[in-house]
A = this chain, B = another copy of it.
Amino acid sequence: MDVINAKLRESSYRLTGQRKAVLNVMLENKGRHLSAEEVLWEARKISPNIGIATVYRTLEKLASLEVLYKSMFEGNKYRYELAEDEKHHHHHVLCLACGLISEVSGDLLHELESDLDEQGYKIIDHELKFYGYCPACNKKK
């Protein structure tokens, strides 16, 4: 919270009612991955007239401040999640049956990244997604 407020203050980002609504939705949904449309409906419970453009603008800004992480899902839609200091990388497991998105922690990728460094690359970030079945759906099969 303090970290977030510091970031907002530093970039002199005014916290209007609508922006507060979006931010609150994201805070209340810590650990979940919301689409812009989902954020819109949740945010309207707090700020009933908020429009989709403002939601996009706010999510974009918060992502650029690294308050949120933004990443592509289902091949056609971004989803946003609250950033947590501990995990700078976003590794996801998508359940092909129920759509559940879980997080993978751990950083086995450092090894791969240093291989690439040796080859002359400069790696800034990475993204890893697993596709399969979550424990619950896997059991049912």
Contacts and interface: CB of A to CB of B under 8 A. Distances in A.
Contact of A135 (B120, B127, B133, B141): B120
B121 A138 contact: yes
A50 to B, nearest CB: 24
A16 to B, nearest CB: 27
A124 B108 contact: no
Interface residues of A, number: 34
A122 B133 contact: yes
**Smallest CB-CB A-B distances: 7 pairs:** A120-B135, A123-B132, A122-B133, A122-B138, A124-B132, A125-B131, A126-B130
Given A124-B131, A127-B131, 14 more contacts: A72-B72, A72-B75, A93-B123, A108-B111, A112-B130, A119-B135, A121-B132, A121-B138, A122-B141, A123-B131, A125-B130, A125-B131, A125-B132, A128-B129
